[in-house]
């Protein structure tokens, strides 16, 4: 038998013993209060004599149940505490007072034990029920540090495990790291395309009339789609992409990063990676 099964078995045995103890203690207290009621004013009516103890002992039950409800809500219920205290003290006091004034000390002890045991046993029972109810909910709670990130339909959806050391180290280096976006080294992958685009925009078109000049000017100042795609990536998005590559077993470099993000060059991918402290070979 493993530890979990042994613990569950011990819990069930304890609950069974507590239930038996609660039932016996309440019965002894209830019966003695019924005898007291029969001696003092209700002897002619057996029904009222047996109903009268409920005006005390049932306050204990009601108060304990309300305290159990408040514990499930992680609250404190003053009314529940007041009902439990009133019912318990009243039951103990009347059980002891019903013995009389000339009785021996042990007679008072015998009268006080059942209501006291009923209070403690029922409280222990409610405690065990509370543990059994709340334990499955705690087991199903998500592990701390795991955050689900919702992405648009066209992008991949990630679950980023935020390990304490790695994101903290990467974010700590950002304040000391200069911004490399101003790097003017020509991109070998876009060099040919940029040259053709520049020559097409700057070379005068003699076949068009002068009315097309404003349109040409607008076309010349339009940003390149690939350059526009490189803007707007936050540090969180870069780290999410890096985490995806690591979790999928891919090496983290400019090529794999650019292929995953889409719409950017390898050099731009290396530049993004350098922003989070990852340096790759050119």
pLDDT digit string, tens, across residues 32-56: 999 998 888 888 888 998 999 888 8
pLDDT at 147: 47
> Which of 26, 14, 36, 39 shows the shortest CA–CA distance to 113?
26
pLDDT at 145: 52
pLDDT at 236: 85
pLDDT at 144: 54
Please give the torsion angle defined by the CA atoms of residues 275, 188, 221 and 198, in that order, rounded to the nearest 10 degrees: 170
Q: What region does 74 belong to: left with phi over 0, alpha with psi -120 to 50, or beta?
A: left
Question: Would you say residue 226 lies in a domain?
Answer: no
pTM of the entire structure?
0.44
pLDDT at 9: 87
Domain assignment of residue 257, given as a range: 235-276
282, 270 contact by CB (below 8 A):
yes
Residues with Cβ < 8 Å from 162, sequence gap 6 or more?
145, 146, 147
> How many angstroms separate the first and last alpha carbons of the chain?
59
pLDDT at 11: 83
Cα distance between residue 260 and residue 165, in whole Å: 25
pLDDT at 209: 43
Counting the structural domains of the chain, the total is 2
Q: What region does 42 belong to: left with phi over 0, alpha with psi -120 to 50, or beta?
A: alpha
pLDDT at 188: 43
Question: Would you say residue 121 lies in a domain?
Answer: yes
User: What are the helix and strand counts (H, E) for the chain?
Assistant: 12, 2
Question: Would you say residue 93 lies in a domain?
Answer: yes
pLDDT at 140: 56
Is there a single domain that holds both residue 17 and residue 129? yes
Per-residue tokens: 176? 């000391």
Output DSSP code: residue 35: H
Question: Would you say residue 272 lies in a domain?
Answer: yes
Cα distance between residue 272 and residue 68, in whole Å: 55
Question: Would you say residue 29 lies in a domain?
Answer: yes
> For 280, how many CA atoms within 13 A lie in the half-sphere containing its CB?
21
Going from the first residue of the chain to its last (282 residues), give the mean pLDDT of each consecutive group of 10, the final group possibly shorter: 82 88 90 90 87 87 88 87 90 89 88 89 83 66 49 41 47 49 43 44 45 45 42 80 87 86 85 83 66
pLDDT at 126: 83
| Structural domain ending residue among the three candidates 91, 115, 134 | 134
Cα distance between residue 133 and residue 135, in whole Å: 6
| Structural domain ending residue among the three candidates 107, 134, 161 | 134
Question: Would you say residue 156 lies in a domain?
Answer: no
Question: Would you say residue 118 lies in a domain?
Answer: yes
Classify residue 204 by burial, with Cβ atoms within 10 Å: 0-12, 13-18, 19+.
Answer: exposed
Is there a single domain that holds both residue 128 and residue 243? no
Cα distance between residue 51 and residue 181, in whole Å: 85
Instruction: Return the SS3 of 183.
Output: coil
> Which of 200, 267, 199 shows the shortest CA–CA distance to 227?
267
| Structural domain ending residue among the three candidates 84, 117, 134 | 134
Run of H or E including 160: strand 158-161
Question: Would you say residue 89 lies in a domain?
Answer: yes
């Amino acid at each position: 038998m493993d530890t979990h099964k042994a613990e569950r078995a011990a819990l069930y045995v304890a609950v069974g013993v507590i239930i038996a103890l609660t039932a016996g203690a309440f019965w002894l207290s209830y019966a003695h209060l019924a005898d007291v009621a029969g001696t003092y004013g209700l002897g002619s009516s057996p029904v009222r004599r047996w109903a009268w103890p409920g005006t005390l002992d049932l306050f204990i039950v009601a108060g304990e149940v309300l305290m159990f409800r408040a514990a499930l809500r992680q609250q404190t219920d003053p009314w529940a505490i007041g009902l439990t205290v009133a019912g318990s003290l009243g039951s103990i006091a009347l059980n002891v007072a019903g013995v009389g004034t000339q009785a021996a000390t042990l007679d008072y002890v015998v009268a006080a034990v059942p209501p006291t045991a009923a209070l403690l046993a029922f409280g222990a029972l409610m405690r065990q029920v509370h543990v059994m109810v709340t334990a499955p909910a705690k087991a199903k709670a998500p592990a701390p540090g795991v955050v689900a990130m919702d992405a648009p339909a066209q992008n991949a959806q990630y679950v980023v495990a935020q390990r304490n050391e790695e994101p903290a180290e990467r974010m700590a280096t950002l304040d000391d790291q200069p911004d490399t976006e101003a790097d003017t080294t020509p991109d070998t992958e876009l060099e040919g395309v940029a040259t053709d685009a520049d020559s097409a925009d700057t070379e005068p078109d003699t076949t068009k009339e002068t009315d097309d000049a404003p349109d040409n000017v607008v076309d010349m100042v339009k940003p390149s789609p690939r350059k526009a795609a490189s803007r707007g990536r936050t540090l969180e998005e870069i780290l999410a992409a890096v985490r995806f590559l690591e979790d999928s077993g891919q090496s983290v470099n400019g090529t794999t990063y650019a292929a995953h993000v889409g719409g950017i060059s390898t050099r731009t991918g290396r530049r993004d990676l350098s922003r989070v402290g990852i340096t790759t070979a050119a």
